[in-house]
Structure 1
Amino acid sequence: MGKQSGVESDYEQLGDVGLTKGKKLWKKVKYQLVEYHSLPAYMKDNEFILGHYRAEWPLKQIFLSIFTLHNETLNVWTHLIGFFLFLTLTIYSVKMIPDVNLPTLKNFPDVHKLREDLLTCIPSLPDLHKIRSEIKTSFPSNWHIVELLCNCLPERFSHSNHTDACVLHSMKEDLANIIAPLVTRPITRWPFFAFLGGAMFCLLASSLCHLLCCHSKRLSYIMLRLDYAGIAALISTSFYPPVYYSFMCHPFFCNLYLGFITVLGIATVMVSLLPVFDRPEYRSIRTGLFLGMGLSGAGPIFHKLVLFWNQPEAVHTTGYEILMGLLYGMGSLIYATRIPERWMPGKFDIAGHSHNLFHVFVVAGAYTHYRAGLVYLKWRDLEGC
């Protein structure tokens, strides 16, 4: 009897081992990549990508899959790397903001050199009050520095009745050379940082969407809406720097354009919440909607060129904006037409398919816009309104 029990125990142990191996085998098979025809209906989006899909995996396996190879790997990493790129640019931009504190004489060593030159080389100066009046006309936004410069001159100069146009002109030139590079009153940065925030939100939301959409139908629905909201945020906030810095001296047009693109962005997000919005047959409509948002920026850009046709900064920034539009437009066209995988289905499952290329164009376009933003900041810092 005891011997029989031992045999049964052995069989039970063998059964347990077999069950454990079976579970391991099932997990191994369960988390294998599958082909397009095996996907649930909500995951069937691109019939030209035939394999290497993750289907309804648990979250743990999904997060680990970021380091494995499947047809979403590059979609995740292209925008995740883009997110860290713009995070770095944001930190750099914060550190490079000019000091907004009022400058003092100790901040400008060249002032003392100018003073010594004036005392040594100029036997007499025109009336100091006249100098101040002339310089104030030339440098209205930096008058606090002009006061400091003039106050550092000896008192006897303020009572001189001599006039010398050459001396006055020379002094104004010297003051200009000191003031121009050293005294800049930085304008507000919020439109620039709003764009950087919109870009980071878009890139991170897109990366998470491509990583998590294979979990379940409900999570896929949520992540796709987050992705659409990110795209709308990127497009809307991309308008903020060019509109604000181009029309900061024309409040009516500034508020009009900013209000329009903000309302359009909110409306686009609301439309994207509709369940039908993410169906494959609406792919072209989705693309057209976001592309239309981008093209609406042509109006403010043309208006900017009319107002500042003689400003090199206006032409420079417009060149960046045209390049950005071309990059976004090319990416959207590739995304909508599913090129190149439609030409050779199954050949671009892992890398090189339309969504990979679309992501690269988006990051390139956003970086181009960042470069334009730097030009706007420098322009307005130096000139103001």
Structure 2
Amino acid sequence: MMASGRQNCDNLTSFSEKSEQGCLEGGNQVRYKEGKGKRLWKKVKYQLVEYHSLPGYLRDNEFILGHYRSEWPLKQTFLSIFTIHNETLNVWTHLIGFFLFLSLTIYTMKVPEVVDLQSLHHLPEVLKKTDLHELLTCLPSMPNMPDLRRLQDEYKPSFPSMDVLPSLSSWYILELLTNCLPERFSHSNHSDACVLRSMKEDMVNMIAPLMFRPITRWPFFAFLGGAMFCLLASSTCHLLSCHSERLSYIMLRLDYTGIAALISTSFYPPVYYSFMCKPFFCNLYLGFITVLGIATAMVSLLPVFQTPGFRSIRASLFFGMGMSGVAPILHKLILFGNQPEALHTTGYEILMGVFYGIGAVVYVTRIPERWNPGKFDIAGHSHQLFHILVVAGAYTHYQAGLIYLRWRDLVGC
């Protein structure tokens, strides 16, 4: 009987089975060994692995040899954002970029008027030294001016401290300063009797926003939204794709869609603000780039599009999409070649194209890791450099967008 019992115990493999059959003495000791075994298994299971140990769907760059996460549970995958592996910098370069553009969006929403009043021929200084009532005495001689009494009644609830604050557009005020004060308020005659020395700074600040009429901002915010979506989608993809083949399939499609969104929306500010006075060309260019972006996103949904063999095709498709912006830029220069704003924005757009172009070349050639495989596993490999160049290009385009807003706020059509 004892031999038979021992034989039965020998056939059992797990601690739990042996404990249930009474083959081991000391239940606490059994549970301790079980817990220790599970902890050891988790420690081994969540170790970083090398390239040759990866499943096929995670094999993308054979020049990065180690420090891979492979099929980790979702919790551990999320927590790996705070650990070191070959995707850490891929995650953080675009996550930081996302928060950068989120901050820029909030800033632009709070300060929608980006016009630099100092560029209006020292206009604020003139207003500080000008008697507002004396300025208004010139208004009756100017044609098509609104009734001051009606405007005073309209604005007095909002500005109770001011007796007269007409709703003057930029054109009216510029005409007023040009026709009514050609000599008396020149820079060499600030001691004129009509200078109001006690005029307060807050009065100037209330008058200054009336110097221009801000144009619509939706193309600019569309670009900012596209940039944030692209950066956040990319960061999320690099963080979660190691969890499972199914999640990797979804995340990669989200990533490619984000790239298409960034490229498409990048054209909205230059096209809209360059051709806002020419609706036909404005709608033509915006429609074309929107359709192209949607088509690129749909092609990105094809499973074969994700394979490493299509790396060059992916880069070429997105690069070609970006090159489609050459036509509206050249058209803009033909129409506004004498405007400094057109030249300034074109310079920023060329710089943006250089950043994106270099990023695409680095992405395709996998430089520098192909020169020394394994050396750049953690930091410095091509995809990290690509991410940095994308953020730099998008920020350059943001600066160009500010110039477009300033230009159209001042000039209009």
TM class, shorter-length: 0.7 to 0.9
CA change 1:22–1:243 in 2 (3 A) is same
**Shift in alpha-carbon separation, 1:250–1:168, aligned structure 2, 3 A:** closer
**Pair 1:91-2:119 in alignment:** no
Distance 1:211 1:384 in 2: 45
Partner of 2:310: 282
Contact 2:24 2:30 in 1 (8 A): no
TM-score for both structures, normalised by structure 1: 0.82
2:369 alignment counterpart:
341
- Residue 17 of structure 1 deviates from its aligned partner by 1.6
User: For 1:195 and 1:382, how far apart are their aligned partners in 2?
Assistant: 22
In structure 2, stretches of 5+ residues that fail to align are 1-18, 115-125, 153-162, 165-176, 188-203
CA contact (8 A) 1:304 1:314 kept: yes
Matched, 1:309 2:337: yes
Residue of structure 2 in register with 1:64 after alignment: 79
Verify the 8 A CA contact 2:236 2:251 in the aligned structure 1.
yes
* 8 A Cα contact 1:291 1:329, kept in partner: yes
Residues 111 and 31 of structure 1: CA distance in aligned 2, closer, same or farther (over 3 Å) = same
Compute the displacement of 1:98 (Å).
Answer: 3.4
Closer/same/farther in 2, CA of residues 317 and 222 from structure 1, 3 Å limit:
same
C-alpha separation in 2, matches of 1:186 and 1:175:
27
1:251-292: CA deviation from partner (whole Å, max 9, x where unpaired): 000000000000000000110010100000000000000011
Going from structure 1 to structure 2, the CA distance change for 1:10 and 1:326 (only over 3 Å counts) comes to: same
**Which residues in structure 2 correspond to 1:1-385 (within 5 Å)?**
10-98=25-113, 113-116=131-134, 131-133=141-143, 169-171=179-181, 182-385=210-413
In 2 relative to 1, CA 11–94 (structure 1 residues): closer, same or farther, beyond 3 Å? same
Using the TM superposition, give the Cα deviation of residue 117 of structure 1 relative to its aligned residue in structure 2, in angstroms: 7.4
1:19 shift after superposition: 1.6
Q: Which amino acid aligns with 2:349?
A: E
CA gap of 1:118–1:207, structure 2 versus 1, over 3 A, is closer
SS in 1 for 2:99: helix
If each structure's helix is expressed as a fraction of its own residues, which one has the higher value? 1
Q: Indicate the SS of the match to 2:25.
A: helix
Aligned AA (1:79) = H
- C-alpha offsets along residues 354-376 of structure 1, whole Å, 9 cap, x if unaligned? 00000000000000000000000
Partners in 2 of 1:98 and 1:172 — Cα distance? Answer: 28
Change (3 A) 1:176 1:327: farther
SS for the counterpart of 1:10 is coil
Deviation track 1:27-63 (CA, whole Å, cap 9, x = no partner) reads: 1000000000000000000000000000000010001
Q: Contact 1:114–1:174 at 8 Å: present in 2 too?
A: no
Q: Which amino acid aligns with 2:94?
A: H
- Structure 2 CA distance, aligned partners of 1:347 and 1:109? 63
* 1:6-39 Cα deviation digits (max 9, x unpaired): x966344333222211111111000000000000
**How many residues were matched structurally?**
342
C-alpha contact (below 8 Å) 1:257/1:300 kept by paired residues: yes
**1:139-176 superposed Cα distances (whole Å, 9 cap, x missing partner):** xxxx6599979x97xxxxxxxxxxxxxx9844368899
Distance 1:313 1:146, change over 3 A: farther
Identity level (%)? 71
- The residue type equivalent to 2:131 in the other structure is K
How has the CA–CA distance of structure 1 residues 16 and 325 changed in structure 2, closer, same or farther, with 3 Å as cutoff?
same
TM-score norm. by structure 2 comes to 0.77
CA distance 1:360–1:118, change in 2 (3 Å): closer
What do you get for the CA RMSD once the two structures are aligned?
Answer: 3.0
Which amino acid counterpart does residue 89 of structure 1 have in structure 2? Answer: L
Distance 1:310 1:211, change over 3 A: same
* Distance across 2 between alignment mates of 1:209 and 1:320: 29
State the Cα deviation string for residues 191-237 of structure 1 (Å, max 9, x = none): 00000000000000000000000011110000000000000000000
Q: CA deviation at 1:343?
A: 0.2
Summarize the Cα distance change of 1:346–1:118 in structure 2 as closer, same or farther, 3 Å threshold: closer
- Looking at structure 2, the residues matched to 145 and 72 of structure 1 have their Cα atoms a distance apart, in angstroms, of 66
Matching residue's letter, 1:289: L
What SS is found at the alignment partner of 1:347? coil
Shift, 1:78, TM fit: 0.2
Change (3 A) 1:144 1:324: farther
Q: How many angstroms apart in 1 are the aligned matches of 2:230 and 2:129?
A: 48
